[in-house]
Amino acid sequence: MTDAQRSRKRQVSRRSFLQGIGIGSTTLLLAACPAPAPADSGGTGGSAPAAEDIELDFFAWGDASDIPAWEALGNAYTELNPNVTIKPSISGTGVDYYTKLQTTFAGGVVPEVASFQGWEWQPFSDAGLLAPIDAYVERDNFTGPYPEGVDSIEFSTRRDGSRYLIPLQSGVMVMFYAKNVFDEAGVAYPTDDWTFEDFVSIAEQLTSTDGDSKMYGYQANGSYARDIHWIRATGVQEFDELVDPRTAMYDQPEIIEILQFVAQDFMYGLGISPTPADLEGGTNTIDTGNAAMKYEGPWFFPRLNSPELREEGKEIEFDVVLMPQMADESRPHRGWAEGVCVPKSDLVDAAWGFVHYMGGEEGQKTYSTITGRIPNTASLVENFWGPTIEERFGVSNAAAFSNAFLRSEVDVIGGVSRGQIWSEVAKPVAWDPMLANSATAADVVPALNEGVQALLDAHWARQG
């Protein structure tokens, strides 16, 4: 054999090289597939080491005001419990959040803690995916967030006799008003005893759309969810039951009349609210200084006034007041709890430790300070939250939120989600034509009622 032949024999041929690349790529591809998690060895008896390192996956609501709060809470808990690491997965808001969460469950990657709004966790508990927390609540005497007699909390946290949701905030909405608009117009600020007629009169006085810069007395929200308040304040409700309804009842005269007002006349008849076209792109709103009043919740504080906005000179001084008195003398407001649930997993005990911390006094102070949201106990609201929001956001009437919450009721909880009612029926059939001024409430409500009833019927037919 010549030197050249020996050399060629030692060299890797092109074919062998390419084969090696192919085998290597395939091996890498297969190695990228996750290995099955080892079976839990807890059942073999004996207790786990006291300081076992635990990692809790927290599937967290991604609102801009919440993100820094989740990080702060996770870090604070880890400082107290060094063996526990909290991994927040910030996962969007609204429909996006629940799409990702359900897909996560379907994929078998179950987080140990997950954010939920009070009307969205029920399908998960019905499917047996959430751990009931009654035993933990009783063991740790964690009863503060569950005051007796407040239906909105009860319906938002309990189902079929078991408790699932740990409230991190009490949700309620009231009327926000921009003080400077009232001052410039020489109109007195609204008070908690104002009526619907007072509200309309004030809005008309404050509206001025003739010049280049428009001012609207009220920024209507233009959606079913936000208009639920107006419906309930008439003294009727749009379902036979607010939990697991069977009958749609939109076609009551009181509802038709109030929808005509809030979803059309405010914009086109009275002209006190910007139309959806006026609002497109974020223009003509209360936070751009073009509206005097808006129905909102505590998460809206930082949009109007905050230490950061004051530094930049861009704050809008505001305060809040109960929604105006209407036909229902009990003056219901929308209310709910939002917080976290503990999905069933091998780490329910550890997860409870973290959610207990978040829902406890220290965690609540951290969360409420950063987000401005209402804490989950009356004592914290009165002694901590009220002074805090006055200092940070300039809100002096914190009592309006407490008052509203005590008389609050949930939107609708059940198999047909509020979101499905809105996107499948309420928006295309009713709110779109009303907001476009192409049909009146009397024209669209029959079809709205029929459509929602069809959804309810289909849901109950599937339940058998």
Partner 1 sequence: MAATAAVSGKRRVSKRQLRDWIAGYLFASPFIIGFSVFIAFPMFYSVYLIFVEWDLLRPPVFVGFANLAQMFKDPKVNLSLYNSAFYTIFAVPIQLTISFTLALALTQKIRFRDFYRAGFYMPIIVPLVASAVVWQRVLHPEFGILNEALGWFGIEPRMWLFEPRLTKPAFIFMSFWMIGRQMVIFIAGLGSIPESLKEAASLDGAGTFGRLRYVILPLMTPLIFYNMVIAIINSFQSFVPAMIMTEGGPQDATLFVVLNIYRNAFQYFNMGYASALAWELFVIVVGFTLFQFYLSRRWVYYEEGE
> What CA–CA distance (Å, rounded) separates 332 from 229?
8
**In angstroms, what is the minimal distance from the CB of 61 to partner 1?**
17
**In angstroms, what is the minimal distance from the CB of 426 to partner 1?**
11
Q: Which is nearer to partner 1, 23 or 327 (CB)?
A: 23
> What CA–CA distance (Å, rounded) separates 245 from 241?
5
Tell me the three state secondary structure of residue 355: helix
**In angstroms, what is the minimal distance from the CB of 110 to partner 1?**
11
Q: Which is nearer to partner 1, 22 or 307 (CB)?
A: 22
> What CA–CA distance (Å, rounded) separates 253 from 210?
34
In terms of Cα–Cα distance, which of 226, 300, 337 is closest to 64? 300
**In angstroms, what is the minimal distance from the CB of 296 to partner 1?**
21
> What CA–CA distance (Å, rounded) separates 355 from 58?
10
Q: Which is nearer to partner 1, 309 or 436 (CB)?
A: 436
**In angstroms, what is the minimal distance from the CB of 373 to partner 1?**
26
Q: What residues make contact with partner 1 under the rule CB under 8 A?
A: 15, 18-19, 22-23, 25-26, 29-30, 95, 99, 102-103, 105-106, 123-124, 127, 129, 276-278, 280-281, 283, 417, 419-420, 423-424, 427-429, 432-433, 436, 462
**In angstroms, what is the minimal distance from the CB of 162 to partner 1?**
17
Q: Which is nearer to partner 1, 119 or 146 (CB)?
A: 119
116 near 338, Cβ under 8 Å? yes
Tokens of 372: 């401005």
Tokens of 387: 């002074």
In DSSP terms, 318 is beta-bridged to 178
Q: Which is nearer to partner 1, 121 or 367 (CB)?
A: 121
Residue with tokens 């010549």: 2
**In angstroms, what is the minimal distance from the CB of 106 to partner 1?**
4
Does residue 394 come out as left (phi exceeding 0), alpha (psi in the -120 to 50 range) or beta?
left
Q: Which is nearer to partner 1, 9 or 15 (CB)?
A: 15
Q: What is the DSSP string of 1-50?
A: --HHHHHHHHSPPHHHHHHHHHHHHHHHHHHTSPPPPPPP-GGGSSPPPT
Cα of 456 vs its chain's centroid, Å: 23
Q: Which is nearer to partner 1, 144 or 446 (CB)?
A: 446
Cα of 439 vs its chain's centroid, Å: 31
> What CA–CA distance (Å, rounded) separates 36 from 433?
52
**In angstroms, what is the minimal distance from the CB of 319 to partner 1?**
30
Q: Which is nearer to partner 1, 72 or 110 (CB)?
A: 110
* One-letter amino acid for residue 25 of the chain: S
**In angstroms, what is the minimal distance from the CB of 220 to partner 1?**
15
> What CA–CA distance (Å, rounded) separates 175 from 411?
18
**In angstroms, what is the minimal distance from the CB of 273 to partner 1?**
15
Q: Which is nearer to partner 1, 144 or 276 (CB)?
A: 276
178 near 296, Cβ under 8 Å? no
Within 10 Å of residue 124's Cβ, how many Cβ atoms?
20
**In angstroms, what is the minimal distance from the CB of 413 to partner 1?**
16
Q: Which is nearer to partner 1, 78 or 209 (CB)?
A: 209
302 near 65, Cβ under 8 Å? yes
Helices 361-371 and 386-393 pack at an angle, to 10 degrees, of 20
Tell me the three state secondary structure of residue 56: strand
186 near 333, Cβ under 8 Å? no
38 near 323, Cβ under 8 Å? no
Q: Which is nearer to partner 1, 29 or 37 (CB)?
A: 29
Fill in the DSSP letter of residue 131.
Answer: -
